[in-house]
Amino acid sequence: MKSLTIHTLIITLFFFTIPTSFASPPRLEDVFSQCTTDFRPSNPNFPIQDFTYTQQTPSFLTILNNYIRNLRYFNNTTRKPVAIVAAADVTHIQAAITCAKRLSLQLRIRSGGHDYDGLSYSSTVEFVVLDMFNLRSIEFDPKLDTAWVQSGATLGEIYYGVANKSNDLRGFPAGVCPGLGAGGHFSGGGYGNMMRKYGLSVDNIIDAKIVDAKGRVLDRRSMGEDLFWALRGGGAASFCVVLAWKIKLVPVPGKVTVFNVETVGNRGGVDTTQLVVKWQEIADKIDNNLFIRLTLSTSNKTVKASFMGMFLGDSTKLLEIMNTDFPELGLNKTECLEMKWIESVLFWLSIPPGTAPTTVMLNRIPQKQIYLKRKSDYVQKPISRTGLDAIFKVLLENENVTMAWNPYGGRMSEIPSTETAFPHRAGNMFKIQYAANWFVPGEAVANECLSQTNRVFEAMSPYVSKNPREAFLNYRDVDIGRSLNSTYEEGKVYGEKYFKNNFERLVKVKSRVDPDNFFRYEQSIPVLSSH
């Protein structure tokens, strides 16, 4: 009897106890729900049935849609999960793992939902979504040096809490989008506009609480250093469910300075191409307190360059640095805005200063959903003026695509590539994000935008990293490879692009902690047994 799955057992009992030709086997969602309800231990204060949604639940689609950030993966033909478990207690996570395993269902783990290719809420096989949005507590230590952050907390909630608790003297290095969930964002690396000063989110994580494939709750000490290493940049969803991270808070000045200078054609007599040439010379070498993102797009048949920066200091010091290292941009005092670090979060959302309270970063549900595609690249050698002219020509031919160039250097170059699972360190000048957004349904529009993105991506191949052509895990992109049969060979295709030489170590950790490959999805780390 033990070898029977719960599904088989219930169906068997059903046919023995209901002698009618009209009997039909129970639905898989009911079997799953019954399994989780029967699971022990349970918390009577949080009965799991109150946090489980099936397709028969009136609010099912609302719960599913609340954390979908790419409409490409939410339509009438998209396979829906058997159930959503919106965990509010660690026992809910344990039950979801146990029952998904018994019923051979894949488990998709979702924290914030900014998952570009929808892997946390879609699948080609029967699956369950473990939604972490109820697990969002943030607990600060009395000295405000560290905090325990649950996976479902958003960056906006973390930033707002840190700033308020510390009277604006502490921050945390992570992304510029407040809606990102800590669970996935941190485990993929987590970068933002303080990375040249403090590194990535994973470089500032000192402990974690997880639930493994056996349902055990472990911390750094009990999970071991190998698994703790893998969780920091290797994508936790291949290994376990992260319940919470212990983060190390960092000092921020009372005032930071931000700016956003846009140029079309030329600025002060210096053409856009020359400004981009100069940006490449200085962006990864300039003062570590300064981060300048370059965004390239098109406007009225002309390439537009946007230089958006944040400096951890006042405008006087910033202008000294810019006049010395990047005088061609001609940044002037009136373009420099001094504000609290927490206020700069809104500036990076393109919210004009003083037009909204900082509480807007606590909003979890976006006002507008879009269709999108993202891709990534790393650049290790400066692109010549001739190369830039060719790139600009391609952008003008593919006007739906923008590129964001994010500078590395500083602290990023000091941390060894093997320190965490995140490998893209010294030797990288900047990372590129390719972005295409569209706002109407239909295959024609989608295919055109996807084709434009691919054309720009292909045109960039001479200028980016090679063997492998590196990619950033948090800019999830199934075009670079996907696993259909969970084999080592399939996993290596995308694994070496995301993790370079760290891939083999990740495979060894995976094979040890999840030998049955329960935690798997289209781009998960494979196990050695498939080698």
Q: Residue 253, SS3?
A: coil
Dihedral sign (CA 109, 112, 113, 114)? negative
* Residue-level pLDDT at 375: 98
Report the amino acid identity of residue 145. Answer: D
For 6, counting Cβ atoms within 10 Å of its Cβ (0-12 exposed, 13-18 middle, 19+ buried), the class is middle
- HSE, side-chain direction, 13 A CA sphere, residue 435: 16
Q: How many CB atoms lie within 10 A of CB 401?
A: 24
Q: Which residues pair with 338 in a beta bridge?
A: 257
CA nearest 117: which of 481, 396, 403? 481
* Residue-level pLDDT at 13: 38
- The CA distance from 472 to 478, in Å, is 12
- The CA distance from 317 to 326, in Å, is 14
- The CA distance from 159 to 239, in Å, is 27
* Nearest 10 degrees: Cα torsion 365, 367, 369, 370: -130
Beta pairing class for 371-379 and 430-438:
antiparallel
Angle of CA points 51, 57, 59, to nearest 5°: 80
* Residue-level pLDDT at 12: 42
Instruction: Give the chain's end-to-end CA distance (angstroms, integer).
Output: 33
* 415-to-203, 289, 408 alpha-carbon distances in Å: 9, 17, 12
E-strand stretches of 47-96: 52-54, 83-86
CA nearest 172: which of 326, 320, 377, 345? 345
Helix (H) / strand (E) element for 282: namely: helix 272-282
- Report the 3 state secondary structure along 191-246: CCCCHHHHCCHHHHEEEEEEECCCCCEECHHHHCHHHHHHHCCCCHHHCCEEEEEE
* Residue-level pLDDT at 17: 43
* Residue-level pLDDT at 76: 86
- The CA distance from 40 to 85, in Å, is 16
Which residues neighbour 355 within 8 Å (Cβ) at sequence distance 6 or greater?
A: none
pLDDT along the chain (531 residues), means of 10: 44 43 81 97 96 97 96 92 98 98 98 94 96 98 96 98 97 97 97 98 98 98 98 98 98 98 93 97 98 96 97 98 98 98 97 95 91 98 98 98 98 98 98 98 97 98 98 98 91 98 98 97 88 41
- The CA distance from 376 to 200, in Å, is 17
In this structure, are residues 241 and 215 in contact, taking their beta carbons and an 8 Å threshold? no
Dihedral sign (CA 389, 392, 398, 402)? positive
- The CA distance from 57 to 80, in Å, is 13
For 368, counting Cβ atoms within 10 Å of its Cβ (0-12 exposed, 13-18 middle, 19+ buried), the class is exposed
Please give the distance of CA 67 from its chain centroid, rounded to a whole number. 13
Q: Residue 405, SS3?
A: strand
